[in-house]
A and B are shown apart, each in its own frame.
Chain A
């Protein structure tokens, strides 16, 4: 035991802890992605202090082109577009991350249990996952909103459930290979419980592809939220979200291009940054292409 302890928690692990940061710093695209995301996140958190106007404050400068007073222009009610977009980022980023966290939690628990125990549990879980796999995540989300109704909390639940299958499949696949490893047999011989083996021994070794999938999924979740809001199935109309601002602008785009341009630009820049980061992580962990399709 003494030998194991000395090899376990010493310097190599500590230097490795920051290895990913160095890797990202070397990858130009990933670095840009990181910086943009950091700025967007900060702006969303500090939105009330940062924005020049209240996002819902109306004035008589209706449908104003971008100017010094309103850098991105104003909408049909004279509301400042920049302030609305910064506030909108709060919802988009919150929904994007919270839904993926929930999907990850549920998906990993389902996938790990299915892969570890096998048998009828595996059959039941995977039959359901296969069923969901037959449809793109966005469509599943639309179906679920059709059932639950629109609104922020329903949208979060719908998107979370729609993304569960991606995580369950990856987690199960990883467990199936890892559980045959010798160190798992060793842990079992030492009397480790099933729970301990699953969550302390298998899961950390299955983390890489799950992290990559989670990163990519955040971008799809943001697109899904924007899509649902755009279709009128998302949050209530007095909350500015990127998708909703874009939807509201539709009647005015023929005379106010900025209303159609900037909200989409915010979405694209965010999603692009996450994709850059996801790509770098995929290289770092040497993970083959995950479900890169169908999540729109």
Chain B
């Protein structure tokens, strides 16, 4: 198992290096790079030359790459090319807690909806309740998260005035202000995720309920709730965990879009604003950090999988 984990970590490192390298070269190959515009803005050739030197653009690409990569390893992602030339790492340090709060809360909300829904529809198979869960899950999968976000704002913010429509308040300013700003975006992000989880828990539960050991347990007359919670449910979770990596990725993707609806300056907002402004150090930094979260989450899930299911052996 440790061999597998080691290989998995190695692959994660390779993926991160590949992403970093691709990002570096692609942003330099494409036409219309923002620095060219900046050099043009500088007007006279002497000033342009100075800027070119300052950003190291007078050196060959591989030297630029080596320097850039070296600085990246030290955590230096450069500076924004606009305004106050704020450090990219600072922008990301400020954005990260927002994105993580949002992703974490949407994960919890989705689980709270999906687990009971999936369990009930598996236990009451073919009942009206089961059909309702299936239909709602289909709807949840088909609704764009940004639309759910808008519907929630229309209903709970501008309609009922129960919750704030936009913005973010850090946890240090109190639990309720923090929570009240995050709850609507979290529901918007968590809904498609909940739909998928409910469907998976349902089909996985149905499979477990059909197995021999469940039949034996049932024939021994075990109490039904105990049967489900102690024997069936933990086993049904194993296949659910396998897709957890992809599911978490889905949550992150949702966060990136939905942050933009609620004007929460998390990683998604930073990334999209960076793209719109063609502020490529910001774009580069945001892509790297978002990618790192994906790779790390997938790694974690794979390792977790070998721990919870001892039958799994990787060679």
Contacts and interface: CB of A to CB of B under 8 A. Distances in A.
Contact of A267 (B15, B147, B192, B257): B147
B247 interface: yes
Contacts of B252: 136, 139
Given A134-B295, A226-B144, A147 B138 contact: no
Contacts of A264: 143-144, 147, 150-151
Contacts of B73: none
Contacts of A275: 138, 141-142
A219 B141 CA distance: 10
A292 B193 CA distance: 11
B225 interface: no
B214 interface: no
A135 B141 contact: no
A276 B30 contact: no
Contacts of B257: 138, 227, 230-231
A275 B65 CA distance: 44
Contacts, number: 130
Given A136-B253, A145-B275, A232-B276, A246 B30 contact: no
B139 interface: yes
A233 interface: yes
Contacts of B298: 134
A149 interface: yes
B153 interface: yes
Nearest to A270: B142
A182 interface: no
B138 A254 contact: no
Contacts of A138: 253, 257
A231 B294 contact: no
B256 interface: yes
B154 A257 contact: yes
A133 to B, nearest CB: 9
Contact of B256 (A142, A243, A250): A142
Given A131-B18, A227-B257, A147 B30 contact: yes
Interface residues on B, range: 35 or more
B143 A268 contact: yes
A86 interface: no
A267 B291 contact: no
B246 A294 contact: yes
Given A136-B253, A138-B253, A231-B257, A293 B276 contact: no
B150 A250 contact: yes
Q: Dominant SS at the A interface? A: helix
A80 to B, nearest CB: 20
A131 to B, nearest CB: 6
A24 to B, nearest CB: 17
B106 interface: no
B32 A296 contact: no
Nearest to B32: A149
Interface string B114-145: 00000000000000000000000011011111
A117 interface: no
A72 B271 CA distance: 34
Residue from A139, A263, A291 with most neighbouring chain B CB atoms (10 Å)? A139
Nearest to A230: B146
Contacts of B238: none
Nearest to B261: A250
A124 interface: no
A227 B144 contact: yes
A253 B158 contact: yes
B144 A267 contact: yes
- Nearest 6 interchain pairs by C-beta: A264-B147, A254-B158, A272-B142, A271-B142, A294-B246, A293-B246
Interface of B: 15, 18-19, 23, 26-27, 30, 32, 138-139, 141-147, 150-151, 153-154, 157-158, 165, 192, 196, 243, 246-247, 249-250, 252-254, 256-257, 260-261, 271-272, 274-276, 283, 287, 290-291, 294-295, 298
6 contacts: A134-B295, A233-B272, A253-B158, A268-B139, A268-B147, A271-B141
Given A131-B15, A139-B294, 7 more contacts: A136-B249, A139-B256, A146-B27, A227-B146, A254-B158, A263-B147, A275-B138
